[in-house]
Amino acid sequence: MTDVRLERLANVLVNYSTEVKPGQWVGILGDVMALPALREVYKEVVKAGGNATLLIGDSYMERYFLREANDEQIAWLDPSQTLYYEQADVYIRIGASANTRALTSIPGKRMQKIQAARSSWLDARLDRAARGEMNWVGTLYPTEASAQEANMSLEEYEDFVYGATFCDREDPVAAWMELSAMQQKKVDWLKGKQHVKLQGPNVDLELSIEGRTFLNSDGHRNMPSGEIFTGPVEESVNGWIRFDYPSVVGGRAVKGIELKFEQGKVVQASAEENDDLLQAQLDTDAGSRYLGEFAIGTNFGINRFTGSILFDEKIGGTVHVAIGRGYKETGSHNESAVHWDMICDMRNDSEIHVDGDLFYKNGEFTV
Amino acid sequence: MTDVRLERLANVLVNYSTEVKPGQWVGILGDVMALPALREVYKEVVKAGGNATLLIGDSYMERYFLREANDEQIAWLDPSQTLYYEQADVYIRIGASANTRALTSIPGKRMQKIQAARSSWLDARLDRAARGEMNWVGTLYPTEASAQEANMSLEEYEDFVYGATFCDREDPVAAWMELSAMQQKKVDWLKGKQHVKLQGPNVDLELSIEGRTFLNSDGHRNMPSGEIFTGPVEESVNGWIRFDYPSVVGGRAVKGIELKFEQGKVVQASAEENDDLLQAQLDTDAGSRYLGEFAIGTNFGINRFTGSILFDEKIGGTVHVAIGRGYKETGSHNESAVHWDMICDMRNDSEIHVDGDLFYKNGEFTV
């Protein structure tokens, strides 16, 4: 029998996050490891009257491609997937891992090359989403590997995931709507504000949000969600920030990252572990040394770091910034093949001032 | 470690059956149950320089769709798959079953409706293949379910499958080329011939092949293969034939079929088991009482009936005919929604004469 929490998650993804309507073209994407979740989502899509395209991948094949594909193969874009990204109405991705470290030995430059080749798919999805032409959501199906990454048993990790997505409650949709209302108040307060200053043991950074929009991330694109975010004015970022949580990219954990910004640009960067990957990401293109995102995590259902960015960046009491691509809806015009979130704990001796007013202190909003 | 015979099969499919060339667009299709085979084929496609599209399905979702989809959903054609069938260069399908009887309770009419909705994909593949624009092959990955259907253990069934595909030999491609050369001689000999007469304990049938072409089925579209086949002149078939092997259609085995033909048409038909299904198939449409195919199986690696037509129809020492749709490349113009192969043993006291010459005796060619 299927875990009732998984059934609820499928319902949330299809009927709350992406609001599938009869006749819509719905892509269901995920690794074969996510099969039980893919099946539940598929059922909900059919029930909602949607037309499903399955895009099931396999990490073993992906790894083989990462290792062995030649330049022509890397540059090739599957025309059927291009058509999907250009025309479909809904994108539901269910991540699932058999081994979160399986890509450790793949060179960062190669990962980046493949990402870059497929950036038009990401562009199409995000651009069309910004124009209201595509609804999308990404989530994670709990596996032994993700549990292991998080130092938990599978049962504990399932509790964690379904807790974070509110699917341990009878009516997760109601809970998401409540969080959404709380966040909307903060977003409304931030309207028209200009200057943000972050201070604390891990950060001394200022940035401008003049003319930019904060978005209320309430479970429509990420499940779980729970953050408000914007794209800072690209050249306005100055100062430094240290990320005490490891940042996992392409299966490799980059630890102890410190970045120094001058006029928006990362002018100094170091990591205690996997520094080569950090440097490769920063060197990807013109936009990868600038911030595309500044965000505040609000989900107190996520009470611990687990090495999965989907959850980590929403941890209540943290902020995160992302180098690279910004979201156009925020006003950001930073373009890049990279979008890499890094998380900074604000729960101790930390403050955010907005236009001189104390907005946030030790992990809690103060307005 | 992967079964070396599966590695050989993947090599045969990619480099012999479909001859994947650098830069070609290659679809790899199959159920998640076929994952080990899909992975090996994927590797071979990448090695050959092909660009792979994965089309992985799931029988659980398929069944849900068969049961629950509404008319609009059934009529919907995934545009990305349509594009694939219209433009791709190669199609490699790997069948694999978790339960060969799982569709028993789905009404035949509903199955037909869904088949009919997607017939343009089949048309595109076969038409483009006939024009040399698409190479395709279908095979089967051995599972417990298929072994069970064949009354074998999985190990025995694997031996059977890899024996039938010659992948139990070190160089299966050489074996296929040898079979191909042998069959080509028979096909060449048959060119320009007119009259075929089959006689034996199970058959007394004559038919005309005037103006028709025999095709050499040597592992390029079916793996395994091993047959030569044509479409007989539709109105030329006279006599009777008994099929001692059961014919499985829609998961039901029809046993002890006897057919009597007059001027091409089945005028009398009976089956010892599931006769109603036989009658329903014959009554489907105008073409379903005429033969679309006459073929001689040549694969002596297939030494037993297993209930899977992919293997059964190739059994060395048998002939088969199919009621219904013929293949245009043979010259057949019989059209029908039905194409149902029935297999007749010719290994005892049986002969085929062509234009009066003895062509085949007791399961072996004599020319």
User: What is the pLDDT, as a whole number, of residue B337?
Assistant: 85
pTM listed for this prediction: 0.90
User: What is the pLDDT, as a whole number, of residue B103?
Assistant: 84
B366 vs B357: CA distance, rounded Å: 10
Distance (Å) from the alpha carbon of B230 to chain A's nearest alpha carbon: 35
- Give me Rg for the CA atoms of chain B: 20
Supply the DSSP symbol for B333. Answer: -
Q: Quick check: B63 contacting A, CB < 8 Å?
A: no
| B108-153: pLDDT as tens digits | 778 878 888 898 999 999 999 989 999 999 999 999 999 999 999 9
Distance (Å) from the alpha carbon of B250 to chain A's nearest alpha carbon: 24
| Under 8 Å between Cβ of A252 and A276 | no
User: What is the pLDDT, as a whole number, of residue B110?
Assistant: 85
For the packed helices A59-68 and B35-47, what is the interaxial angle rounded to 10 degrees? 10
A197 vs A356: CA distance, rounded Å: 8
Q: What architecture is the B4-170 domain classified under in CATH? A: 3-Layer(aba) Sandwich (3.40)
- The CB-side HSE value for A60 (13 A sphere, CA atoms) comes to 11
User: What is the pLDDT, as a whole number, of residue A255?
Assistant: 93
| Chain B contact set for A91 (CB, 8 A) | none
For the packed helices A59-68 and A108-117, what is the interaxial angle rounded to 10 degrees? 100
Distance (Å) from the alpha carbon of A6 to chain B's nearest alpha carbon: 16
Distance (Å) from the alpha carbon of B65 to chain A's nearest alpha carbon: 7
Cβ-Cβ pairs closer than 8 A, A with B, add up to 99
| Under 8 Å between Cβ of B188 and B214 | no
Identify the burial level of B6 via C-beta atoms within 10 angstroms of its C-beta, where 0-12 means exposed, 13-18 middle and 19 or more buried.
Answer: buried
Report CB contact under 8 Å: A51, B78. Answer: yes
Task: Flag whether pLDDT at B253 surpasses 90.
Answer: no
The closest alpha carbon to B288, from B311, B259, B312, B309, belongs to: B259
B234: CB partners within 8 A, 6+ apart: B264, B290, B291, B332, B333, B334
| Under 8 Å between Cβ of A203 and A47 | no
Domain with CATH 3.40.1830.10 in chain A: 4-170
| B173-222: pLDDT as tens digits | 999 999 999 999 999 999 999 999 999 999 999 999 999 999 999 999 99
Identify the burial level of A174 via C-beta atoms within 10 angstroms of its C-beta, where 0-12 means exposed, 13-18 middle and 19 or more buried.
Answer: exposed
Given pLDDT bands bounded at 50, 70 and 90, which one contains residue B250? low
Query: CB-CB: which of B22, B57, B64 is closest to A54?
Result: B57
| Chain A contact set for B22 (CB, 8 A) | 72
Give the CA distances from residue A202 to residues A82, A254, A362, in Å, rounded to whole numbers and listed in that order: 42, 17, 12
Tokens standing for residue B21: 């060339």
Neighbours of A367 (CB within 10 A): 11
Query: CB-CB: which of B23, B68, B80 is closest to A46?
Result: B68
B351 vs B356: CA distance, rounded Å: 11
What percent of chain B is helix, strand and coil (3-state, nearest 5)? 35, 30, 35
| B269-324: pLDDT as tens digits | 999 998 988 998 999 899 999 999 999 999 999 989 998 889 999 999 999 999 99
Task: Flag whether pLDDT at B107 surpasses 90.
Answer: no
Q: Which residues of chain A have pLDDT under 50?
A: none
Q: What is the 3-state secondary structure (H, E, C) of B90-139?
A: EEEEEECCCCCCCCCCCCHHHHHHHHHHCHHHHHHHHHHHHCCCCEEEEE
| Under 8 Å between Cβ of A146 and A100 | yes
Strands B195-200 and B203-208: antiparallel
User: What is the pLDDT, as a whole number, of residue B357?
Assistant: 97
Q: Is the ipTM of this complex over 0.95?
A: no
| A272-330: pLDDT as tens digits | 999 999 999 999 999 999 999 999 999 999 988 888 889 999 999 999 999 999 998 99
User: What is the pLDDT, as a whole number, of residue B139?
Assistant: 98
